[in-house]
């Protein structure tokens, strides 16, 4: 029997002693990643845009973990640097980055302006790349780290009414492959976690017709619950996934596997 079989342990899934930065970790799916990591033993740092942080703070502290915050706009380069510096100052390291922040702008094609497109790409893709590079260089020095980029079912499929979102989410797989390769010899892995459909602020503008069409393709006609994402997030953040690099994993109830 190989030694690696004997060495494997459920402790490989533990995040004890780790520090996780989750962008937009004070709302919806981001909050689920924060709580999942805290339950697995990590301290949390949240660069946040919206002011309210009470719910995630209480939930992380209830797990006996520490949490730090810095509010700002991730499209601002100075703020991205400040967020990395603040996390390092608070916790001394960054083991996990979740590039979760994004905006969902929806409109018929005729009304979908270039400004809407550029705004979507700026936060969803450009800021994710730039923050990921910044944090990736910290991880490179540490000789370990996990970057999790948040994709979507729309990383693999298209749809109407959200051109910027589709382009951003396809692009997140490209960003994932870039980090996976650039940092592959430095003990850093980067993967893309692709949620299916979860009721949250990002899709409140989605037309009812799309909501119904999506539900028809989901097991039991049911959109996802935030908790459905937590196990995969912990796996991708943990030692258990050290041999998984540069790939995308869907947590979508099978949505993208049907025709
Ligand atoms: N909800 C879903 O069904 C679903 C499905 C697939 C993928 N996703 C992805 O999951 C992620 C989280 O989405 P969510 O559903 O939790 O919605 P959300 O709106 O709660 O999350 C987006 C977060 O990004 C933050 N943000 C927006 N603009 C920012 C900026 N300029 N600077 C810094 N932060 C900014 C928001 O404040 C928010 O905290 C997004 O990347 C989204 O595309 C969501």
Spatial distance between the Cα atoms of 49 and 52, rounded to a whole number of angstroms: 9
Spatial distance between the Cα atoms of 252 and 97, rounded to a whole number of angstroms: 22
Residue 56: the pLDDT is: 98
Residue 212: the pLDDT is: 83
Residue 154: the pLDDT is: 95
| List of domains in the chain | 3-250 (3.40.50.720)
Strand intervals (E) in 137-187:
145-150
Residue 138: the pLDDT is: 98
- Residues marked as catalytic: 165
Spatial distance between the Cα atoms of 148 and 166, rounded to a whole number of angstroms: 18
Residues of the chain with pLDDT under 70: none
What residue's CA is closest to ligand 1, atom 1? Answer: 198
Spatial distance between the Cα atoms of 249 and 123, rounded to a whole number of angstroms: 22
Give residues (CB < 6 A) around ligand 1.
23-24, 26-30, 49-50, 73-75, 100-103, 123, 150, 152, 195, 197-198, 200-203
Residues 185 and 191 sit within 8 Å (Cβ to Cβ): no
Residue 69: the pLDDT is: 98
pTM of structure: 0.97
Spatial distance between the Cα atoms of 89 and 85, rounded to a whole number of angstroms: 6
Residue 77: the pLDDT is: 98
Residues 48 and 249 sit within 8 Å (Cβ to Cβ): no
29 C-alpha vs ligand 1 centroid, how far in Å? 7
Taking only the tens place, the pLDDT of each residue in 134-169 is 999 999 999 999 999 999 999 999 989 999 999 999
Question: CA 36: distance to chain centroid?
Answer: 12
Mutation choice for ligand 1 from 21, 22, 26, 27, CB with most ligand atoms inside 8 A: 27
Spatial distance between the Cα atoms of 251 and 59, rounded to a whole number of angstroms: 23
């Amino acid at each position: 029997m190989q030694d690696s079989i004997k060495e494997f342990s459920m402790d490989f899934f533990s995040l004890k002693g780790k520090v996780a930065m989750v962008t937009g970790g004070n709302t919806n799916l981001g909050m689920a990643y924060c709580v999942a990591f805290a339950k697995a033993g990590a301290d949390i740092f949240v660069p946040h845009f919206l002011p309210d942080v009470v719910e995630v703070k209480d939930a992380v502290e209830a797990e006996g973990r520490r949490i730090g915050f810095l509010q700002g706009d991730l499209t601002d380069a100075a703020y991205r640097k400040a967020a990395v510096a603040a996390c390092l100052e608070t916790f001394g390291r960054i083991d996990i980055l979740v590039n979760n922040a994004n905006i969902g702008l929806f409109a018929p094609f005729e009304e979908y302006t270039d400004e809407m497109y550029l705004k979507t790409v700026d936060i969803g893709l450009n800021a994710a790349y730039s923050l990921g590079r910044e944090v990736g260089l910290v991880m490179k020095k540490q000789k370990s780290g996990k970057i999790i980029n948040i994709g979507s079912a729309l990383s693999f499929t298209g749809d109407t009414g959200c051109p910027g979102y589709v382009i951003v989410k396809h692009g997140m797989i490209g960003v994932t492959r870039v980090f996976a390769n650039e940092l592959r010899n430095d003990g850093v892995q980067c993967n893309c976690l692709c949620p299916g459909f979860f009721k949250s602020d990002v899709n409140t503008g989605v037309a009812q017709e799309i909501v119904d069409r999506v539900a028809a393709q989901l097991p039991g006609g049911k959109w996802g619950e935030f908790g459905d994402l937590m196990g995969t997030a912990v796996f991708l953040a943990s030692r258990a996934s050290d041999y998984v690099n540069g790939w995308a994993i869907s947590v979508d109830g099978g949505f993208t596997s049907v025709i």
